[in-house]
Amino acid sequence: MGNQGNVGEWQGVPGNTEAMLGTGQAGTGEEAIHHDLKREGDQNTAAIVSNAEMGSETIVLKIRWFGVVLGLLWVNLAPNGEHRAMLNGILLLGLGYALWDTWTTMRGWKLMQRYPLVISLLEAIFIGLLCYFDSGLHSPFRYYYLLSLIICALRYQPLVTYVTFGLHSVSFGGLYLLRSWQEVAAGELLLGLVLMGWVAWAADALASWLKETGARLQRLNLELEKERANLEARVQERTRQLQEAQASLLHQEKMAAFGLLAAGIAHEVGNPLACISSLVQLLQRRVQDAGVQEKLALVNEQLQRIQAILRELIDFSRPASRERVWTRVETIIQQALNIAKYYKRTRGKTITTEVAPNLPTIYVVQDQLVQAVLNLVLNAIDATSLGGHIVIRAGREDGELRLRVCDNGPGIRPEDQHKLFQPYFTTKPHGTGLGLFVTQRLVQEHQGRVSFRSEPGRTEFCIHLPLAACLSGDSSCGRSEVLMPLDTSHEPEIHELTSRAHQPDNCPHTYCG
C-alpha cells in the first residue's frame, strides 16, 4: 500500500505478475510483449513492401527522365531544325509531366496508378505527335513506344500493358496513314507493330517475374520478422520468469536466515529465563512476607509474558509447512495479527476485524495464507500514519471467500499501480519489494487471485479464494515451499498492544496499538 494515490479501478489478477494492475492500464507481461513485437513486425513489413514499391517506381522515373532528356538533346542538337519549336514545346510538356510524376510518387500519392488507361492514351498521343512533327515512322521518337510499354509493365497489371500496346498500335498506325504511307512500305509498319508486341510481352513477363520474386521475398521477410518477434517474446518471457524465480528464491533464503536467527535468540534467551523463573517460584514458596510475595508475583507474571513471546517467536521462526489442513478464516487472521502486533509501526494505530458469521472451514496451506494476510496487514500499517485505521474483513461473495485489508492511508500513486506486484518494486525506504510479489504467488497456488483499488484516503487489497478449491481435498494447491510468513522489509519489534477487546465472532474485533 503506497504513500500517495489517486482513484483506481477494481482490477483482478488472473494469474501473472503483469496482470496485477490497480487501474485499467494494459499489462506489461507476455500479451503486451507480443502486442509490441507484432506492431514492430507490422511496421517492418510495411517498410519492406514500401521499399519494394519505391524500387520499381524509381526505375520508372529513371526511364521517363532518360527519354525526356535524350529527346531534348536530340531536338536541339540534330542538324535538321524543322519544327524544332513545336518539338521543344511538346517535350517541355513531357518534362512537366515527368516532374509532376516524380513529385507525386515521392510524396506517395500514386496518382498515376488511379487512371492508367488515361495516362496510356495521353502517352500514345504524345509520342505520335513527336513522331509526326519529326520524321514519321523513321523518327527516333518511335522508341518512346517501347519505353512506355516497359513502364506500363513495371507499374501496372498485365491487362493495362496489353491495352496500352493496343493504343500505341493505333497511334503508330495513324502515324503511318497520316505521314508515311507513301514513303514507307507496309512491311515496316508491320515490323514496328510486331516489335512493340514482343516488347510488351517480354516486359510484362519480366515484370511479372520480378513482382513474383519480390512478393516471395516479402513473404520470407515477413516470416523472418514473425519468427524474430516470437523469439524475442519468448526470451523476454523467460527472462521475466527467471527474475521472478530469483526473487522468490532470494526471499526464501532471507526468511530462512531470519528464522534461524530468531530461533537462536529464543533458545539463548529461554535457558537463562527458565532459571530465573525457577528461582522466583522457589522464593515464592519460601518467603512469607506479603509485600515480597506481591513483588515476586509481579515478576513471575512478567516472566510468563516473556516466555509467551518467545514461544510465539519460535513458532514464527519455524519453516512453514506445505501440508494442507482444515482451518478457519478467523484462525488465519488471528495468527497474522499475533505476528503483526510486534511490528513497531503498529503502535498508535487501530486494527479492526470483521468476520462474517458461519464461514465454512477451508482446506488450505495455513502458513501460506497467514503470510499472505500478514504481508497485506504490514503494508497497510506502513501506509497509515499515527492514528490510522485498518480494517480486515472476511466474507463469502459470488462463490469466493474474500479477505479484504483496507486502510485510510494516502493511497497509491497511479504511476506505481501497474508495478505493485513486480519483484523488487517498493515505495518504502526500508522495503525489499517482495511482499506483494510473494503474496500474489501464494494466493495463486490456492487457485485464487489478488485485486486492489485505491483512491486518496482509502486503499483496499482483496484476496479471492474460490470456495470450490478451498472446500475440496484437491492437493494441487500450495505445492511450493515458502519458509517464512514475513517480508524482511518489515522489522518486527516486540511491542504489545495496550488493549484488546474480545467480542462475539459475528461482530468486529478491534486491536489498538
Q: Are residues 63 and 21 in the same domain?
A: no
Question: β-strands 362-364, 325-327: how paired?
Answer: antiparallel
Q: What are the pLDDT tens digits along the chain (513 aa)?
A: 443 333 333 333 333 333 333 333 334 444 555 555 455 555 555 454 455 556 778 888 899 899 999 999 988 887 776 788 898 999 999 999 889 988 888 887 776 677 889 989 999 999 999 999 888 888 899 999 999 999 999 888 899 999 999 999 999 999 888 877 777 778 888 998 999 999 999 999 998 888 888 888 888 988 999 999 999 999 988 888 888 777 777 766 766 676 667 667 776 777 787 788 888 888 888 888 888 888 888 888 888 878 777 776 666 555 556 788 999 999 999 988 988 887 878 888 999 999 998 889 999 988 889 989 998 999 899 889 888 999 999 999 988 999 999 999 898 888 888 888 877 777 777 666 777 888 888 898 888 999 999 989 899 999 999 988 787 654 444 333 333 333 434 433 333 332 333 333 333 444 445
Tally of domains in the chain: 2
Q: Are residues 387 and 325 in the same domain?
A: yes
Answer whether residue 441 is part of any domain: yes
Q: What is the pLDDT of residue 104?
A: 85
Q: What is the pLDDT of residue 342?
A: 77
Answer whether residue 113 is part of any domain: yes
DSSP tally for the chain: helices H, then strands E: 12, 9
Q: Are residues 23 and 62 in the same domain?
A: no
- pTM exceeds 0.85: no
Q: Are residues 364 and 222 in the same domain?
A: no
Q: What is the pLDDT of residue 54?
A: 60
Q: What is the pLDDT of residue 485?
A: 35
Q: Are residues 351 and 496 in the same domain?
A: yes
d(CA 299, CA 14): 54
Q: Are residues 214 and 113 in the same domain?
A: yes
d(CA 130, CA 407): 89
Q: What is the pLDDT of residue 239?
A: 86
**Domain-terminating residue out of 202, 228, 254:** 228
The DSSP string of 42-58 is: HHHHHHHHHHHHHHHHH
Answer whether residue 3 is part of any domain: no
Q: Are residues 101 and 205 in the same domain?
A: yes
CATH number where 336 lies: 3.30.565.10
Q: Domain range for residue 371?
A: 17-27+320-512
Dihedral of the CA atoms 37, 43, 49, 51 (nearest 10)?
Answer: -120
Q: Are residues 371 and 503 in the same domain?
A: yes
Answer whether residue 239 is part of any domain: no
Asked if 482 contacts 320 with a C-beta cutoff of 8 angstroms, the reply is: yes
Q: Are residues 348 and 470 in the same domain?
A: yes
